[in-house]
Amino acid sequence: MIKYAMAGAMFFSVSAVAEEFTIERLEASPTINGASVQGLEMAPDGKRVTFLQGKAENASQLDLWEFDFESGESILLVDSAVLLEGGSEVLSEEEKARRERDRTITGKTGIVSYFWSADSSTLLFPISGDVYVLPIGGTVKRLTNTPEFETDIKFSPQGNYVSFVRDRELYAVNISTGNEIKLTSGSSDTIANGMAEFAAQEELNRFTGYWWSPDETRVAFEQFDESRVLVKDRYEVQPDGGVITLKQRYPEAGTANALVKLGVVSVADQNVSWVDLGDNDDIYLARVNWLPNSEQLAVQRLNREQTKLDILLAEVNGDARIFATEESDIWVNIDDNMGFLADSQTMVRTSERTGYRHIVRHDMASGTVTAVTSGEWVVSEILKIDEGAGLVYFTGFRDTPIEQHLYTVSLSGGDVSRVSREQGWHKVVVGVDVYIDKFSNPAQPPQVTIRSLADGSLKSTIVANTLDESHPYFKYLGNASDQSFGTIVAEDDTELHYRLLKPHTMEEGRRYPAILAPYGGPHGQRVRNEWLVNFNEILTRNGYVVMILDNRGMWNRGLAFEGHVKNAMGTVEVADQVAGANYLKTLPYIDGDNIGTWGWSYGGYMTLMSLFKEPDVFQAGVSVSPVTDWRLYDTAYTERYLGHPDAPGDVYENTSVFKYVDGLKGDLLLIHGMADDNVFFDHTVKLMSVLQNKGKRFELMTYPGKKHGIRGEKTRAHLWNQALDFFDRKLK
């Protein structure tokens, strides 16, 4: 999935920045944003909170920590450097690729994930391809020590087994006996068991390929066969000048996907039953959930066009029937919001049948569907179904599209109650009677607290991140950007939200150049009432006004809002950014003759389309890692929005930047990593050639050995310097 690539660790040093804001490192340690943690989890019994935190000397290397409720102190549980004996983590190519696709752990090393046992007695985690367990109160024990890499490690639901994938096969280890069981067989260079295929990882946000039954007697697993998937030669130009030629199976739009099957294997004897997924094998296996009875599975089968989602109710012998269906002329969004009441007679999930994602309740016997929430707003995530209290806890956007809050509602439906208190953005983990709240707004850097589920009252503070004299950002507050939120209307009167950043001190009568910083693409949202210090802040401190505008086609506004880009990428998004630029021109402090734009990935595509289609509006743009021709991007993403390339019409021609290249009049800086395995370097190479043949001048910066995120402290420093220098030369 194309995502805005600034979400990870950012590093830069900008010599042109005012002296009081020459930042050597952003989101390092100490970070400009203050203390930062990730991987927050609460033990199943609700008595412990654990999290991952980067080292003081290396924010990207994560250790495992626990927050002590009684003392209010954070305790280091596992030091990754000790387990690595001071060395660097060694990763398989498969694991590197998985981390690149999973944006939550991209660029991270050390302990990047961990798991609690069901009885809250033990922690499980992988590092450097092996498996470790930590009994609470005990010492770390190494569970595997093999030359092969163990990936996708899990506890079984009752904690009697640890499972993992090794060499494309699924294994389980009985913790009490130490016996290792090979659950699957038959893998090859093109066939894998227990793993998610490329499309599922990159575009469906599914990173696992196996699922334990609640009673631990069986494991459902995916088998994929990618023998028919297109093999592409991908060239990685390395910093030493060497070129690595890689054969990568990459399903370009219109080409064959991997074939997927769903098996159910018995832990006792390894016998396999295959679930009947239907006669059409050109499908996506979207999600798999066991019912509490361990006798049935809910299997979500998505058609290739992604306009129809069937929920199959499958028996362990493989028989299956369609239980429910979601259909849309736009597309069907996939999520993880499915759960069951203990008697397996009620399914609770989210549906977009009304045009907005809302919670519904299914009677498993009759199929009757009851709405639990409703309205012209979107539910984000179901976090907990409290069957005893008859409540559902969830996050969503009932109050405003730019704030995520924790809410609760009766399982029977009715009034929705807001639990989280402060205005801003709340990322929540729900426990027994408390929740962990990772919260921020423009005046509050990200803080982590423990709060009451009953009323949101404060219980404990894990990370205060108070913006006082001790905070790393405090000394820069005197020159911080002035930020505000607002709305404008699109040409069809749709309300669009924006965030505006202005220089702290603006001279009377001076007109400032402006830069729009969109992502612009589907399933992305950038205008949030949250803490934000990044390259846009540097731009404002160097005399630019920056507008971040969420155009039509983006996320968390309902299907109709998203659907504006169906078969029409590069149209309404650009029109809405133009509307933003035109609004800026009405402000007395904006130099309307010097408006620029910049973006990464889909935002890079937006930069190109804006410069090419609206050359009289945008005078300069920085395009980082852009898609240029959608035929070169993958099936699951591209066909969801644009359909099949062979379908009648000129959709792919009209959405490619190449149709509009002749319109370029302004200045362009093109940036790409030369080892990008998401948006291949081919996209930029093709554009370079066309621009050169048409005599169009542009500037270029490529980064040897760098993938889509173009990561690294010195690399990011160079990139931001390059971009700032470009805008200073072209817009001032």
Residue 208 phi, psi dihedral angles, 5° rounding? -115, 160
Residue 18, token pair as written in the block: 């005012």
Omega before 214 within 30 of 0, i.e. cis: no
Residue keyed to tokens 């509490």: 292
Catalytic annotation on 492? no
Task: Write the DSSP symbol of residue 149.
Answer: P
Alpha-carbon separation of residue 140 from 114, 178, 289, 425, 624 (angstroms): 13, 16, 32, 36, 43
* Residue 478: partners with Cβ closer than 8 Å, 6 or more residues away: 20, 504
Query: Could you give the CA distance from residue 318 to residue 320 in angstroms, rounded to a whole number?
Result: 6
Question: Quick check: 442 and 530 in contact, CB under 8 A?
Answer: yes
Query: Could you give the CA distance from residue 719 to residue 473 in angstroms, rounded to a whole number?
Result: 22
Query: Could you give the CA distance from residue 605 to residue 637 in angstroms, rounded to a whole number?
Result: 15
Query: Could you give the CA distance from residue 575 to residue 585 in angstroms, rounded to a whole number?
Result: 15
Task: Write the DSSP symbol of residue 634.
Answer: B
Distance between first and last Cα of the chain: 35
Residue 667 phi, psi dihedral angles, 5° rounding? -105, 140
Query: Could you give the CA distance from residue 54 to residue 567 in angstroms, rounded to a whole number?
Result: 42
Residue 58, token pair as written in the block: 């290396």
User: What are the E-state strand segments in 422-481?
Assistant: 425-430, 434-441, 444-452, 458-463
- Find the catalytic residue in 156, 676, 677, 683: 676
Query: Could you give the CA distance from residue 443 to residue 483 in angstroms, rounded to a whole number?
Result: 10
- Find the catalytic residue in 601, 610, 623, 656: 601
DSSP string, 219-238: EEEEEEE-TTSPEEEEEEE-
| Planar angle of CA 191, 107, 68, nearest 5 degrees | 105
* Residue 201: partners with Cβ closer than 8 Å, 6 or more residues away: 98, 101, 102, 207
Contacts 24+ apart (CB under 8 A), 348-356: 348/372, 348/382, 348/385, 348/392, 348/411, 349/382, 350/379, 350/382, 351/326, 352/326, 352/328, 352/559, 353/326, 355/558, 355/559, 355/560, 356/558, 356/559
Count other C-beta atoms under 10 Å from residue 163's C-beta: 23
Residue 614, token pair as written in the block: 């609206």
Catalytic annotation on 672? no
Residue 539 phi, psi dihedral angles, 5° rounding? -60, -45
Give the chain's count of helices (H) and strands (E): 11, 44
Q: Are strands 141-142 and 150-155 parallel, antiparallel or unpaired?
A: unpaired
Catalytic annotation on 708? yes
- Provide the annotated active-site residues: 601, 676, 708
